[in-house]
């Protein structure tokens, strides 16, 4: 239950926020770094890992679309969620001054979450996306790059021997990333604690069907916490004219929905029975306990919002 002896895959290298999320989800687990999100999925499928902990959305940067696509492509089940406050730092090699910097590198989400703060700090630098935040710190340390800074965690600075030039540089102190826990088998849904259920569906009848689907939840007083659309890769474009002689086209989408109810509840079962009548494809990605742990923004350190000169 507490993560002991579990092998948990995450994307990134030691010091990544995903590693911290894996440790929060499964304390005392054996964290297994993976260089790509899909490798983490495959690690669980091939029994190299028992679980995977992967990010799906951030309060500032929005959804991590790649993982939504991978949830549909693979057959793993969501068995839990964990929310992790994210505290970004600007890291560089010891002795590097801010005026020497020509580039800042980080994961695309890291760059997005610190965009305005970097501008306020007066850094007229190129911004370059890499695979993960801690990987950016590792790259600078391994290659002795003195004109580049990384956006990563304070732990990454400690691991890779970098200095913190600026602390707490996220645009909003309430910066939280939501991670999902994935397993080969689903858990048994319960009603003795708050549960969340994640589904994905497709429809072929236009936006009126989407309204009917959402009404199935509203009628039963089931709160939706997220709705996300992604291109339907199997049928990306549909001709408006059913005879296939027209030129007007519609884009086809898959819809991902999270709602606050357990699949052990009759109202959730009835809602999905109704949804199934209006959709051409429906899959439950998981029904799992909600993360109800409280959190607060990390208090700024003595160097917060200042640059080392």
For the annotated catalytic residues, the residue numbers are: 177, 179
In terms of C-beta density within 10 A (0-12 exposed, 13-18 middle, 19 or more buried), how is residue 108 classed? Answer: middle
Which residues fall within 8 angstroms of residue 131, CB to CB, at 6 or more apart? Answer: 11, 12, 35, 36, 107
Which H/E stretch holds residue 276? Answer: helix 266-278
Torsion of CA 38, 31, 145, 125, to 10 degrees: 60
Round to whole Å and give the CA distance between 308 and 306. 7
Round to whole Å and give the CA distance between 221 and 267. 9
Q: Which of 111, 107, 131 is nearest to 123 (CA)?
A: 111
Tokens 């009848």 locate to 205
DSSP string, 224-239: EEEEEEEE-SSS-EEE
> Which structure tokens are listed for 158?
């400690």
Round to whole Å and give the CA distance between 182 and 52. 5
């Amino acid at each position: 239950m507490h993560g002991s002896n579990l092998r948990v895959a995450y994307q990134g290298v030691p010091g990544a926020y995903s590693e911290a999320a894996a440790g929060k989800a499964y304390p005392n687990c054996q964290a297994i770094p993976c260089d790509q999100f899909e490798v983490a999925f495959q690690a669980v499928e091939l029994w190299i890992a028992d679980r995977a902990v992967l990010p799906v959305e951030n309060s500032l940067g929005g959804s991590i679309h790649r993982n939504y696509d991978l949830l549909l492509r693979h057959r793993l089940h969501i068995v839990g969620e964990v929310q992790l406050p994210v505290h970004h730092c600007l890291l560089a090699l010891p002795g590097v001054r801010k005026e020497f910097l020509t580039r800042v590198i980080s994961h695309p989400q890291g760059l997005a979450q610190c965009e305005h703060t970097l501008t306020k700090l007066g850094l007229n630098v190129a911004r370059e996306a890499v695979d993960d935040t801690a990987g950016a710190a590792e790259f600078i340390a391994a290659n002795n790059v003195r004109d580049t800074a990384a956006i990563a965690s304070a732990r990454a600075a400690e691991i890779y021997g970098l200095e913190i030039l600026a602390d707490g540089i996220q645009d909003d102190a309430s910066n939280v990333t939501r991670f999902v826990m994935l397993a080969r088998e689903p858990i048994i849904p319960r009603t003795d604690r708050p549960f969340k259920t994640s589904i994905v569906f497709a429809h072929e009848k236009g936006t009126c069907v989407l309204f009917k689907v959402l009404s199935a939840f509203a009628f039963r007083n089931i709160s939706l916490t997220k709705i996300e659309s992604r291109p339907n890769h199997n049928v990306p474009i549909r001709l408006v004219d059913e005879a296939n002689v027209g030129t007007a086209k519609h884009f086809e989408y898959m819809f991902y929905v999270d709602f606050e109810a357990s699949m052990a509840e009759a109202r959730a079962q009835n809602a999905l029975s109704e949804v199934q009548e209006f959709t051409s494809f429906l899959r439950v990605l998981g029904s799992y306990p909600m993360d109800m742990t409280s959190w607060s923004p990390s208090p700024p350190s003595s160097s917060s919002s200042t640059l080392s000169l």
